[in-house]
C-alpha cells in the first residue's frame, strides 16, 4: 500500500525518482513496471504498478463499449496510458504528453493513494489540499452518509 505525500523533483529529461521506501514493493509486485495516465477528476496523473493497472483495464474492458461515457473514459484513461519502468536509480520517465496535460514543472508531489500514486504539480497540490481541508469542515462533508460510517 502506498501512503504519504512526498515532495519530488522532475529532472530535465522528465524523470522522477520514486522514494526508496516504495521501490522494493514495486520491484516485487511488477518487476518495476508501472503505468501512468491522467486522472479523470483531478488535474494530476495517476501511477499504478503494472499488476494494479491490469485490474483497471479489465474493469474498463467490462464496461459497455457503445456507451458514450465508456468511450470517453477509454479515450482519456486508456488513450493516455503510458508504460514506464523503474531504472537502476529508481526513476521513472514521464512522457512529455502527460507532463504537458497536467502542467508538471520541476517541483512535484508524489501522493500515495493505497493502490496507486497521484503525481501533482506542487503548487496545484497545495491549492487542492487547502480546498480539501475547507471541505472537511463543511456541512456538505458532515452530511455524507458514507463518511458518517467511517471512524478515524
Interval 22-45 mean pLDDT: 96
The answer to the question of residue 97 being in a domain is yes
Q: DSSP letter at 107?
A: E
Cell 459497455 sits on residue: 64
The answer to the question of residue 72 being in a domain is yes
Split into its structural domains, the chain has a count of 1
pLDDT at 9 over 90: yes
pLDDT at 53 over 70: yes
**Percent of the chain whose predicted confidence (pLDDT) is above 90:** 85
Instruction: Specify the CATH number for the domain of residue 86.
Output: 3.40.1550.20
3-state secondary structure 39-106: CCCCCCEEEEEHHHHHHHHHHHHCCCCCCHHHHHHHHHHHHHCEEEECCCCCEEECCHHHHHHCCCCC
The answer to the question of residue 129 being in a domain is no
Interval 115-131 mean pLDDT: 97
Q: Rounded to whole angstroms, how far apart are CA atoms 14 and 77?
A: 20
Q: Rounded to whole angstroms, how far apart are CA atoms 137 and 142?
A: 7
Interval 98-125 mean pLDDT: 97
pTM above 0.95, yes or no: no
Contacts of 55 (CB under 8 A, 6+ apart): none
The answer to the question of residue 92 being in a domain is yes
Q: Rounded to whole angstroms, how far apart are CA atoms 67 and 42?
A: 23
Amino acid at each position: 500500500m502506498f501512503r504519504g505525500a512526498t515532495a519530488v523533483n522532475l529532472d530535465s529529461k522528465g524523470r522522477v525518482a520514486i522514494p526508496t521506501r516504495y521501490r522494493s514493493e514495486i520491484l516485487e509486485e511488477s518487476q518495476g513496471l508501472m503505468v501512468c495516465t491522467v486522472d479523470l477528476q483531478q488535474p494530476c496523473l495517476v501511477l499504478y504498478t503494472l499488476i494494479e493497472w491490469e485490474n483497471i483495464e479489465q474493469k474498463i474492458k467490462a464496461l459497455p463499449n457503445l456507451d458514450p461515457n465508456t468511450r470517453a473514459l477509454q479515450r482519456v484513461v486508456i488513450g493516455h496510458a503510458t508504460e514506464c519502468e523503474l531504472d537502476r536509480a529508481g526513476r521513472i520517465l514521464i512522457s512529455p504528453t502527460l507532463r504537458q496535460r497536467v502542467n508538471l514543472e520541476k517541483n512535484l508531489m508524489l501522493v500515495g493513494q493505497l493502490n496507486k500514486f497521484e503525481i501533482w504539480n506542487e503548487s496545484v497540490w497545495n491549492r487542492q489540499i487547502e480546498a480539501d481541508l475547507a471541505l472537511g469542515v463543511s456541512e456538505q462533508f458532515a452530511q455524507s452518509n458514507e463518511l458518517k460510517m467511517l471512524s478515524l
